[in-house]
Each structure stands twice: as structure tokens, then as C-alpha cells.
Structure 1
Amino acid sequence: MSVKVLKHATIYTGDDIIDDGYVRFDKQIIAVGPMEAFKNQPNEEIILATGKTIIPGFIDVHSHGGYGYDAMDGNADEIDKMVRIMTAKEGITTYFCTTMTQSNANIEKAMRGVNEAAKRNPVIQGVHLEGPFISAKYKGAQPEEYIKDPNPELLDHWNELAGGLVKLITYAPEDDHSREFEDYCLSHGIVPAVGHSNATREQLLHSKAGHATHLYNAQREFKHREPGVTGHVMLENNMYAELIMDGFHIVPDMLQLAFDQKGPERVELVTDSMRAKGIAEGESELGGQKVYVKDKQARLEDGTLAGSVLSFDDAFKNCMKFTDADLYDAVLMSSVNQANEFGLTTKGGIAEGKDADLNIIDNSCNLLSTYSYGELVPKMD
């Protein structure tokens, strides 16, 4: 791979802002700095980026599918294709394939498919198991008949099928078996995430959950005599919180409240997208259930929100539209925080030795182009 240099760009590295800088890279970043420190090297491809801004590639740790595909289908070819489309259209350069509450056989199939797809596509860096160890009361769009108690042996089996890619699991910590389950997760590098849960604040104080799946949605809500899941996450400064910033799952005022309370260092943008993202409105499917997509919302027949059709580049722009976040904050919430939480040491920043995962945006924060492992990904509209 030839060495490339992007020059005369504004660069948000993840911990600094360079007003007029350059990035030298092949598969990984070789150097980054201000133009005054730049020195020409032989046999480099020079790319002028005047008037543009370079930010780290986006990391989505909660997405079921899009563009007609879903990780639960377990088809490695389709999962690979789906993620490549997400990179080209949305700037996602690190992706956790997300499952849902389903039969053991269907989850096993998904794990095998993701494992195979990840061998072809290094953008796939993990699996997020959303269920089946959740609360029936807050099941959301998860089919109740497949809900189970937390089971470390079953999780171990699925993780083995996935090639050790399980990095995040959504579960309900109020279950009596949760402590042993959490210990298994933490000893195997899996982040336990409270979600689809009816847990009280008192129960959560005894849990080891360090992450909240889609804060506010499908969880015991915040009340004046019982903080519930939402209140607990707001009160625990070290917990990371996912936010679906489509304007439908959470109204902007409540997004601002979460941003104020958690701060940009503990919020992670996610899409929670499903197969209907990026295709025509109408009837779709999620976990064997009919889903109807209209006005950028995906709902079950009973009106329950069923994932989203949100693209990550829109989530990125929305976080600055719906809250007081600035571009520096948006970079933290779209990439840096995810890399920090999940130990993705070569991701989530623009620095020497990190993977050359770069998004180039204009002054309105529209995505213009993406580099994934140093390769320019042709932009898809």
C-alpha cells in the first residue's frame, strides 16, 4: 500500500484539534501534526484537504442490520456486504454485529455467520448480544418466548462459536443469577450492559453493569421515589450510556438532560438500526416479527418502536442539533468513548500507530469520504 498524505485539513484527533494539519498513513497512521512540521517524503500520494475536517472513523456497537440484511440471518456473505455498505454510506469503520432475543439455534447460526464474516472484513470487531437474558416486562421488540435466565455456560458456547468476538451483552441484572453471570463476562472481556431491565436502583447498586443499552428505552424509568435503570445510569458517573439520537426514541430535551448529566466522555452514539435502514419505507422484519417503517420510524404492529432506520452519520449530526455538543464532543461520542470502553487500542483516534480509519467531513458535518485501514472507500449515496 502506498503512503498517502492528507494536507491542509482541520484535524480532530480525539484529544486535540489541529487547525491546519496533515495525516500521513498507509494501513496505519504514520504521523499527524500541524503543517508547519510537515516535511515531504519521496513516493507519497498527496491529497489536498483544504477546507475539510478529518475525524476518526465511526464506531457503532449496537446495530442489528441495514440495507436489507440482518446479523441474525447468519449469512456471512450478507453480513460482510452489509458492513461494507455501512462503511461506504455512513463512515462506520468499526462495527459490533448485534443479535436479539431468539432461539438458541438462531443465535448459534448468527454467531457462526458473524465469525466467518469477520475473517473477511476487519471492520467487524465484535458482537453485541442483546438478550436473551432480559426482562419480559421491558422486552420492547424482543420476542418474549425466547427470554431466558442469565446463563454463563450458554454465553460461553456462543462466544466460542463467534471466535471470541462477543464484547458486549445486554441483560437484566435484577435476576438472581446475575452475579455469577457478570463475573463470567468480566473475566472474559465482555462488558455487561443493563438493558431491557426492570431493575431498581438498589438492585443495580449490587450489579457490575458498566454500560447502559439505549438509555431511556425499554427499561424501568426514572421516577421521584424510584430512580430505576435510567436514574441509576444518570447517577453513576463511570457508566457509559448509549443514546439513539434519531429524535423519535428520545425527545431532544431528554437527550440534552442525558448529555448534561453524563457528559460527552460517557455517552456513546448508536444507531440500533435494523434491516429496513436504507431501503424503501413499508413492511419489513425483525426477529420474525412484522415491522412497519414510515416517516423514518420502525414499529411493530402494536406501535412499539423496533430498532431504528438511523444512519450513523445522521446520528453524528443530530447530536450537535439536539444537544449543546460541539464537534469535539461529537468525536468523543462517535468513536473515542467506544474505543476506550472496549479496549480497541488501535481505534478511536488519529495518532501514530492507530489504524488509518478516517472520515472527512465538510463545514456542515456532512460525510464526504472514508478511509478504512488506509484504503479510500468509494462513497455510496
Structure 2
Amino acid sequence: MKTFIFADKFFLKSAVKGPGYLEISDGKFGDFYSELPDQEANVIDQSGKWIAPGLVDTHIHGFVNHDVMDNDAEGIKAMSEGLLSCGVTSFLPTTLTSSKERLRDVAETVGNVHKDVTGAKIQGIYFEGPFFTEEHKGAQNPSYFGDPDLDTFHEWQEASGGIIKKIALAPERQGVKEFVQQVTSEGVVVSLGHSNATLDEAQVAVEAGASVFVHAYNGMRGLNHREPGMVGALLTLHDVFSELICDGHHVHPQAAEVLMEKAGHDHVALITDCMMAGGMPDGNYMLGEFPVVVKEGTARLESGNLAGSILKLKEAIKNVVDWGLATPEQAVMMATYVPAVSCKIDDVCGSIAKDRDADFIVLNPDMTLEATYLDGVERYHA
């Protein structure tokens, strides 16, 4: 017997449609219909609700007291399960700067476990670093910083089984242009961040193939009228995406609005940069090798600097709508299709498309999460 989801609105790739019926067959999406095509079919009634693609978090370090850098397969599985409560159905486990050996081991662990997770699906790995510079190090350990090295990257990629999808670096490091040209030719996305680069230096990296800016405004040289810097680069260069943390702490809503207006909602990817304290009570935690205090909605190093976030992606889409920065359609797009496209994983996630895995969320009209479905099966209910 066929199954159909009935809802008031469906956030499809081409348009918002509804009310109507979305076919689910053998865990895959089928067609969308305005009228029920089969009166004998099983109908899941989500009257008054909205159906959107499962959220895609392309920059996340940890959740529910587990960190990717713990190098623990069971912890990765727990993250995967926990993320369903955030509306996330696909993610890129994200590393931190560390030793070459530790990063190789983590790449291997994620590579070995990525097909065994039973919650949100691992669509690749994001290497955040270690090719950064100290001026904007954030919660990255500068003792491991260095210039990009292809041999080292290829070691990590081989250890991962070829699933590193994105790597971040600072444009002012030595050898960036050649590194970017090579890894992008291999299908790996290069993002730019934790950097004191000038506009010109950022532009060289973008011309070489870099296409994403790491958590816009944070960990980078700010906008100055004589040297536009990294922020000037992400606001003015064409065909680039910007990650954005919309928790109300990392970026002021008006600064987020400037980025959305200048770059366009279709070039802003909502991310969390969440660390292990996500989904946990306030207290003391670790981010990589650094102790972090979580209280009042933030995660901070002993210096007081922000250290990742405890944001859930479902909160980010609600925030940008509540702040008047985006329509519900734009908010959903920025947390599904845009991050997927920016990391070149939009062939497997980020939109509702026929014959694709039926990973979707049910939203209330106030943008709160009602339920998360994976392969057509409800896995989380608020």
C-alpha cells in the first residue's frame, strides 16, 4: 500500500506548494499531488503543518557530550542519533586543528563508521584546519598550525576512505594557491577562515577554487574602509558561500542581515559550529584540548572568547524568521539546499526530490520542529 504525507505546505526545490500529498514509497520520495491519487492509500495526516527537507549541518564538532576529536566510533553514532532531535538528517562531522597523527586517526574512525550510523547520515568529513594563522585562532590550537601540504592531506583522505568533502585554511599561508587548485580538482571544497588575510589574498584563493567562508565575521579580519579584509571578501566576491551562525551571540542580527542582503539568501549556509555541550546542561566541557564553560547560551574559553556554539540547527531557522531576516522558505533553504550545494553533497541531501531518501522534517507554522523522518520513518517527535 502506498503512503502519502498530507500537509498544508511543502518546501519543494522549485517552489512552496500545498496543501497536498507527498508520496513515500520504500523509504524514498515519490511525486507530489494536489489531490490524493489513491483513495485506498495510507495517509499520514499533518494538517496545519509544513514539510521541509531534513536539515543539513555542514559544520558541527560535537553533540550530546561527544566530540568528533574524541576519535570514538560510538560517540559519532550517539551524535548521529541525537541530531534527529535538531531536525538534522545529514551532517559533516567536523574536526579541529590537532596533530597530523590524531587527524589521520579521526579521519579513519569516521570513515569506518560513517555507513553504520542509524540517525542523521554522515555525508562526509569537514577538516576545519590545521592550515590557519594565529591572529584569529579562535578555539584552534596554534601549536599545530602550518602551511598546507598535499602529501599530508592525501594521507588524511586515504585514511578516511575518500570522504573528506571540505577543508578550511587561511589564504595568507604559503602554498595556498597550488594546494587549493589541486584539492578542488579532486572534488574537495576549500573554505577560508581563521585568517588575517587581506581582500587580495582572499581573492587569490577564491580564483584558485576556494568557495566557502568559515563562520562569517568570526575568526577573520574585519571590514575596514582601507583594507576590506576577509569580511570585505565574503561580502563582495562572486560565487562564494558563507557559513553563518545565527544563535544571537556569534553575529548580531543586523550583521547577519547585511550578509544576506549583499550575498543573497541562496549563498548563505546556516551552520551551528556546535560543540559537545550541545543538547547538554550548562557546565564545564572540552572543545578539543581546551576547557570550555557553557552558560547563558554560550560556550566560552577561559579567556572569555566564544568556543563554538551550543546552537541547534532547528533554532537557527526559527531565529532568522523571528528576527525578520528571512521568510520561512528562505530559512529552510539556508539550512538544507544551500549548505548541501556549498559542500557538493546536494546529490544526496538538501531537497525533496523523487527517488531520493525520504529524509524530512515536520514544522509548525511558528518554525518549531514537530517531527523528524528518516527514510520515510518518524524517528523523532517533539
Query: TM-score of the superposition, structure 1-length normalised?
Result: 0.95
1:77 paired with 2:74, answer yes
Distance 2:317 2:2 in 1: 29
Give the superposition deviation at 1:323. Answer: 4.1
Shifted more, 289-298 versus 107-116: the winner is: 107-116
Distance 2:377 2:111 in 1: 23
Give the superposition deviation at 1:90. Answer: 0.4
User: 2:268 touches 2:338 (CA, 8 Å); kept in 1?
Assistant: yes
Residues paired across the two proteins, number: 375
Report the counterpart of residue 324 of structure 1 in structure 2.
325
Structure 2 counterpart SS, 1:52: strand
Residue type of the alignment partner of 1:355: D
Out of 105, 112, 116, the residue aligned to residue 116 of structure 1 is 112
Report the counterpart of residue 170 of structure 1 in structure 2.
168
Shifted more, 334-343 versus 242-251: the winner is: 334-343
Which string of whole-angstrom CA distances, capped at 9 and with x for unpartnered residues, describes residues 52-85 of structure 1? Answer: 1001110000000011001111111110111111
Shifted more, 170-179 versus 5-14: the winner is: 5-14
User: 1:126 touches 1:167 (CA, 8 Å); kept in 2?
Assistant: yes
Give the superposition deviation at 1:8. Answer: 3.8
Distance 1:377 1:310 in 2: 21
1:99 paired with 2:101, answer no
Distance 2:59 2:100 in 1: 20
Distance 1:227 1:348 in 2: 33
User: 2:55 touches 2:88 (CA, 8 Å); kept in 1?
Assistant: yes
Structure 1 counterpart SS, 2:90: strand
Matches within 5 A, 1:31-180: 31-35=31-35, 38-40=36-38, 44-87=41-84, 89-121=85-117, 123-180=121-178
Which string of whole-angstrom CA distances, capped at 9 and with x for unpartnered residues, describes residues 254-301 of structure 1? Answer: 111111111110000000000011111111101111100110100000
User: 1:273 touches 1:308 (CA, 8 Å); kept in 2?
Assistant: yes
Distance 2:169 2:109 in 1: 22
Distance 2:69 2:203 in 1: 33
Which string of whole-angstrom CA distances, capped at 9 and with x for unpartnered residues, describes residues 117-144 of structure 1? Answer: 2121270001110000011111111011
Give the superposition deviation at 1:9. Answer: 2.9
Which string of whole-angstrom CA distances, capped at 9 and with x for unpartnered residues, describes residues 64-115 of structure 1? Answer: 001100111111111011111101x101011000001011222122112211
Give the superposition deviation at 1:19. Answer: 2.3
Report the counterpart of residue 29 of structure 1 in structure 2.
29
Structure 1 counterpart SS, 2:48: coil
Residue type of the alignment partner of 2:98: Q
Structure 1 counterpart SS, 2:42: strand
Matches within 5 A, 1:212-231: 212-231=213-232
Distance 1:159 1:197 in 2: 24
Which string of whole-angstrom CA distances, capped at 9 and with x for unpartnered residues, describes residues 171-201 of structure 1? Answer: 0111221012102221221111001011111
Residue type of the alignment partner of 1:230: V
Residue type of the alignment partner of 1:32: F
Over aligned residues, Cα RMSD in angstroms? 1.4
Which consecutive unaligned segments of at least 5 residues does structure 2 have? none
Query: TM-score of the superposition, structure 2-length normalised?
Result: 0.95
Distance 2:138 2:174 in 1: 22
Report the counterpart of residue 371 of structure 1 in structure 2.
373
Which string of whole-angstrom CA distances, capped at 9 and with x for unpartnered residues, describes residues 298-346 of structure 1? Answer: 0000011100000110011111123420011112101011222314213
Distance 1:14 1:57 in 2: 13
Residue type of the alignment partner of 1:33: Y
Distance 2:348 2:374 in 1: 12
Out of 197, 200, 206, the residue aligned to residue 199 of structure 1 is 197
Report the counterpart of residue 339 of structure 2 in structure 1.
338
Give the superposition deviation at 1:3. Answer: 4.3
Give the superposition deviation at 1:353. Answer: 2.1
Give the share of equivalent positions with the same residue, in percent: 32
1:348 paired with 2:346, answer no
Distance 1:25 1:130 in 2: 36
Distance 1:318 1:357 in 2: 23
Matches within 5 A, 1:269-308: 269-308=270-309
Structure 2 counterpart SS, 1:46: strand
Distance 2:78 2:186 in 1: 29
CA, structure 1 residues 99+303, in 2 after alignment: closer, same or farther (shift >3 Å)? same
Distance 2:102 2:7 in 1: 50
User: 1:32 touches 1:351 (CA, 8 Å); kept in 2?
Assistant: no
User: 2:125 touches 2:166 (CA, 8 Å); kept in 1?
Assistant: yes
Which consecutive unaligned segments of at least 5 residues does structure 1 have? none
User: 1:55 touches 1:360 (CA, 8 Å); kept in 2?
Assistant: yes
